[in-house]
Structure 1
């Protein structure tokens, strides 16, 4: 791939006291990764130097003032801050949370300005990032606001894709949060993502029930019969291949997920427990439905091993490759769906 055509991959470094910088740096210690993309860390040269020295990494990087100055063929670090923040590995501090958000906001700003092409976010701590400037449950809600669209938390790995109807809300609030409109919005977002981001022409989606055994015909709650089933029937009549609701307890164990291109779970743990069990640490969290591509590893800050050089970077590396693949798929989809009359017009004017 020619240097000027390489995908510019932005990286927000996450919580500085966690394993975010470690897994990101380990991913690009293999110089062959630079053949696939140009990585751009949003932090500071002092911060990245401290992190790489902590893990005895020999990786070199190019320091720049902003993303317009990046050099292809090298790992680039955009200097978002000049000061040297105090790093205390394994500790959830207000300082580490504030710098995680500085990195995130700078990278998203560069993404919106098309100075980078895709974004991979390292893990944050949802508690220590909260402030007057950042009042979101996590990455997904913030990105939905900044990058416009109907977002969908979409966990993906080879042979398995699991999306969530509701994500970071309390279990006691799940049933009342699920509405016919929400189901329709999430299914349509997932359908478009499967076509545009994964190249699946006629996607099939399975929807999991809210209650045990999908309510057992109303014996264990009536939400599945009164909300989920009518919504599924309506979507199917619209031409969407969506089926269910299926009883979640046996769905994955019986390998029923293999019959579908994606599964839509009712709530966070219903989808993520089987996903993380089956993906063996190579899963990727993708935020579908936005104007730009964002992925992240499927793990958290892992304070318990932070600073020890023990972190497994497999999921972060998968997040990088997934972002690159989706970016290319979106370009192909755009070319395929471009108005033929516009193409003819362009040729004539040329």
Structure 2
């Protein structure tokens, strides 16, 4: 890939009072990052200039009026708005939430139109971004509506990949949401993603139990025996290497996860607590199942350290590299599949 063909990475800036702008600017403070991609930040050059000065960063960027005019070899900032914005680090503000929405919408539009190749999102505040224009629990649900495909929250690192059957669902409602149809759909997305996005030829997938000790043969809930086990058996007999359900309390501590290409958790905290504990801030939130590639760091706005210059950009950088890797893997898969089809003899 030559210089003018770098992958174009669209970046939504997230909550301006949080650490999003800081981790973005820190990532591109190193000019060598431009050897890997062409960043396109959807925000405002005025806001980023303020952040750069406050945080004493040396990131160079150029202001661009339209995404068609981005320059490869530069950090491009698309001015989604031009007015000044009052920044109060560490504070939740509905006006700031509205700017986060504007950035996300502009970046998503560019992704849909093929103006950027992948999307990396900085953290939003799920509360202050809510409005008539944005009525979603988070990025994943919004992108599921805007982009083609069935979305799935897939937390990834080099050694560990965790998918969720349910994500932003109250604990009291989890069991009601988990059906054979949902299990098949979510595991299908994970299986396809492992093949297309991560170059795994025959994925091995572990499924964690819904109840403690996977229900203990019905003593602690019947969902595992009546819903999960029969569905896993059906998937296995259909050719997918799916195993379980495994008791979640001991699964990660015993290093059992290392035997599998992905783990499926029944609900949000069951999967994300061990993932974030083991990934040490380098995890990535990947929205699998969509026609387009979107990743984000595995942390939130971190108001407590915003504006202090102390934010760690490791997870954002990992999210950026993951987006590039997945994009390349998908293109390779399409090319490989196309070549295989071309070589097949015509049926008479």
Name the TM-score, length of structure 2 as normaliser: 0.97
2:274 & 2:301 partners in 1: Cα distance?
21
1:339 & 1:254 partners in 2: Cα distance?
42
Name the TM-score, length of structure 1 as normaliser: 0.97
What pairs up with 1:109-258 in 2 under 5 angstroms?
109-258=109-258
- For 1:336, the equivalent position in structure 2 comes to 336
- For 1:348, the equivalent position in structure 2 comes to none
Cα offset for 1:186? 0.2
- For 1:288, the equivalent position in structure 2 comes to 288
- For 1:324, the equivalent position in structure 2 comes to 324
Q: CA RMSD in A?
A: 1.1
- Aligned partners of 1:17 and 1:303 also within 8 Å: yes
Cα offset for 1:233? 1.0
**2:198 match: secondary structure:** coil
The number of residue pairs the alignment matches comes to 344
1:343 & 1:31 partners in 2: Cα distance?
43
- Aligned partners of 1:86 and 1:95 also within 8 Å: no
**1:234 match: secondary structure:** helix
Cα offset for 1:339? 5.7
**Gaps in structure 2 of 5+ consecutive residues:** none
- For 2:264, the equivalent position in structure 1 comes to 264
- For 2:301, the equivalent position in structure 1 comes to 301
**Residues 60-94 of structure 1, C-alpha deviations (whole Å, 9 max, x = no match):** 11111121110000000001011112111100100
- For 1:107, the equivalent position in structure 2 comes to 107
**2:144 match: secondary structure:** helix
**2:153 match: secondary structure:** strand
**2:194 match: secondary structure:** helix
- For 1:33, the equivalent position in structure 2 comes to 33
**Gaps in structure 1 of 5+ consecutive residues:** 345-350
Cα offset for 1:123? 0.3
1:108 & 1:163 partners in 2: Cα distance?
23
**1:282 match: secondary structure:** coil
**2:239 match: secondary structure:** coil
**1:25 match: secondary structure:** helix
**2:123 match: secondary structure:** coil
**Residues 254-299 of structure 1, C-alpha deviations (whole Å, 9 max, x = no match):** 1110110000000000000000010001000000000100000000
